[in-house]
Amino acid sequence: MGSPQITEFTPMFHEMKTSLYNARNTSYPPAPRNVDDVIIEGIWSKTLNGELFLLHKLKHPIFGTLESLKQLSESDHGHLFFDGTFKSCPNPFYQLYSVHSVNNELSTPKLFTLLPDKKGPTYISVLNSILNLCHTNDICLNPKFVTIDFEQAAINSIKLVFPNTIVKGCNFHFNKCIYTKLQELGFQSAFIDKKSSDMNEINVRNLYKKTCALAFMPPQEISNLWVLIMDEYQDIDNIGEFYDYATNTWIDNDPLFDYTLWNYFDFKSLRTSNNLEGWHPRLNNDLHNVVHPHFYLFIRSIQNDHAYNSAILSRHLKTGALPPRKKLFVNRNARLQNLEERFKQKTLTLDEYLTKVSQLIGIKKY
């Protein structure tokens, strides 16, 4: 028998099915060959119910509604999530960049923008366009936190446009970076059979977990703990290049990404943007999993997505029902909080705290 939360949302899907998935079969206009050829007008510039959807044209179209802007300004804890993806971005653009907020504990995308590249000036232009849209409509957008992937140009741009905002790198993507580097350096076999009894592979897996666990350690202890971790696993074959990568990228005195971006010790808001990970498959499915889809198919898909998310949020505000969260994530977060409190109360030593947190780090194929 399904959970009550799933059952509550089932009627909503059937109510929305006609408008979202059986929308009239529109003949798409020719796809633009370059950015200058892009024309967005008529039904393509509006939501499915006829509301203005194209908020900004020029070199980076921004799709959303005035209500979307208002919801960004009202996000829980003042926390926004920025996300870039490439697979679902239509030609002639390079990247789909979305802005998400959490309203009454429900995370949904609010703005969709198409970018010609991923350069700093482009990000700055987009962010300023969003700010100008808010100012024009008497909306104050001043996020307390922004969570983002580890992309330097985007991070620097957010800090420039929102100087009072705390920028945090997504913990999910921090773990992914560590995992990917170990894969690149030839340690794939350690992750293929997670129950392998080969001592070298066991040590690689434990090194991965303890490196990821540094994200939850007191900032002033990170450097010393990293030295101890390197010493503990120094016998791993050919591990030196990974140590150099981790030191230069995350831990050194002047790393590529300062610990303030990726460390979550004593952080009370959300640590990860993996609430977005469920959104990506839904959008890709609506695009028939086509890489770089037809331009107007893409617009129809984000129109569908906007209608779907608006209906979910409306239903949630009326009933208070939330889509069920995965029990694994709920339990893991509770255990992380419990371990941090025990460490603060000095019932766990620093070494015990590191070890127990590392045991909560899962190994998955990213």
Residues 166-189 have pLDDT tens digits of 999 999 999 999 999 999 999 999
Got the DSSP string for 275-332?
A: TSTTHHHHHHHHTTT-SS--HHHHHHHHHHHHHHHHHHHHHHHHH---PPPPHHHHHH
Q: What is the pLDDT of residue 24?
A: 39
**Could you tell me which residues come within 8 angstroms of residue 333 by beta carbon, excluding any fewer than 6 positions away?**
none
Strand locations in 88-129 (E): 95-103, 106-115
Lowest mean pLDDT across 6-15, 50-59, 107-116: 6-15
Per-residue confidence band for 273, with pLDDT thresholds at 50, 70 and 90: low
Q: What is the pLDDT of residue 275?
A: 61
Considering the domain architecture, whether residues 230 and 276 belong to the same structural domain is answered as no
* Mean pLDDT in residue range 270-277: 62
Considering the domain architecture, whether residues 8 and 130 belong to the same structural domain is answered as yes
Q: What is the pLDDT of residue 325?
A: 64
Q: What is the CATH number of the domain that holds 127?
A: 3.30.420.10
* Mean pLDDT in residue range 9-25: 42
Classify residue 266: in a domain, yes or no. Answer: no
Considering the domain architecture, whether residues 49 and 113 belong to the same structural domain is answered as yes
Considering the domain architecture, whether residues 70 and 125 belong to the same structural domain is answered as yes
Query: Is the model more confident about 64 or about 269?
Result: 64
Rounded Cα distance between 113 and 93, Å, is 10
Considering the domain architecture, whether residues 37 and 122 belong to the same structural domain is answered as yes
Query: Is the model more confident about 107 or about 222?
Result: 222
Residue 197 DSSP class? -
Per-residue confidence band for 26, with pLDDT thresholds at 50, 70 and 90: low
Classify residue 339: in a domain, yes or no. Answer: yes
Considering the domain architecture, whether residues 309 and 166 belong to the same structural domain is answered as yes
Phi first, then psi: give them for residue 83, nearest 5 degrees: -145, 130
Rounded Cα distance between 360 and 215, Å, is 12
Classify residue 333: in a domain, yes or no. Answer: yes
Classify residue 162: in a domain, yes or no. Answer: yes
pLDDT at 19 over 70: no
Residue 46 DSSP class? B
Classify residue 291: in a domain, yes or no. Answer: yes
* Mean pLDDT in residue range 134-155: 96
- Please answer whether residues 304 and 23 qualify as being in contact, where contact means their C-beta atoms are separated by less than 8 angstroms: yes
Which residue, chain included where needed, has tokens 């003949």? 27
Considering the domain architecture, whether residues 255 and 176 belong to the same structural domain is answered as yes
Considering the domain architecture, whether residues 68 and 154 belong to the same structural domain is answered as yes
Q: What is the pLDDT of residue 250?
A: 98
- Please answer whether residues 162 and 143 qualify as being in contact, where contact means their C-beta atoms are separated by less than 8 angstroms: yes
Lowest mean pLDDT across 90-99, 126-135, 183-192, 279-288: 279-288
Query: Is the model more confident about 58 or about 160?
Result: 160
Q: What is the pLDDT of residue 22?
A: 40
Query: Is the model more confident about 271 or about 217?
Result: 217
Classify residue 267: in a domain, yes or no. Answer: no
39-51 pLDDT per residue, tens: 999 999 999 999 9
Q: What is the pLDDT of residue 171?
A: 93
Considering the domain architecture, whether residues 241 and 301 belong to the same structural domain is answered as no
Q: What is the mean pLDDT of the chain?
A: 89
Q: What is the pLDDT of residue 144?
A: 96
Q: How many C-beta atoms lie closer than 10 Å to residue 227's C-beta?
A: 12
Burial 46-82 (b: 16+ CB within 10 A, else e): bbbeeeebbbbeebbbbbbbeebbbbbeebeebbbbb
- Tokens, residue 211: 């490196």
Classify residue 252: in a domain, yes or no. Answer: yes
Nearest to 169 by CA among 280, 275, 264, 278: 264
77-109 pLDDT per residue, tens: 999 999 999 999 999 999 999 999 998 878 899
**Could you tell me which residues come within 8 angstroms of residue 273 by beta carbon, excluding any fewer than 6 positions away?**
81, 83, 100, 147, 148, 149, 170, 172, 173
For residue 208, the surrounding DSSP H or E stretch is helix 199-213
For the chain, the domain total comes to: 2
Classify residue 61: in a domain, yes or no. Answer: yes
Considering the domain architecture, whether residues 81 and 103 belong to the same structural domain is answered as yes
pLDDT at 7 over 50: no
Considering the domain architecture, whether residues 335 and 353 belong to the same structural domain is answered as yes
**Could you tell me which residues come within 8 angstroms of residue 178 by beta carbon, excluding any fewer than 6 positions away?**
208, 211, 212, 246
Considering the domain architecture, whether residues 107 and 77 belong to the same structural domain is answered as yes
Which range has the top average pLDDT, 31-35, 180-184, 316-320, 331-335? 180-184
Per-residue confidence band for 276, with pLDDT thresholds at 50, 70 and 90: low
224-243 pLDDT per residue, tens: 999 999 999 999 999 999 99
pLDDT at 164 over 50: yes
Domain containing residue 147 = 4-170+272-319
Per-residue confidence band for 248, with pLDDT thresholds at 50, 70 and 90: very high
The residue type of 140 is C
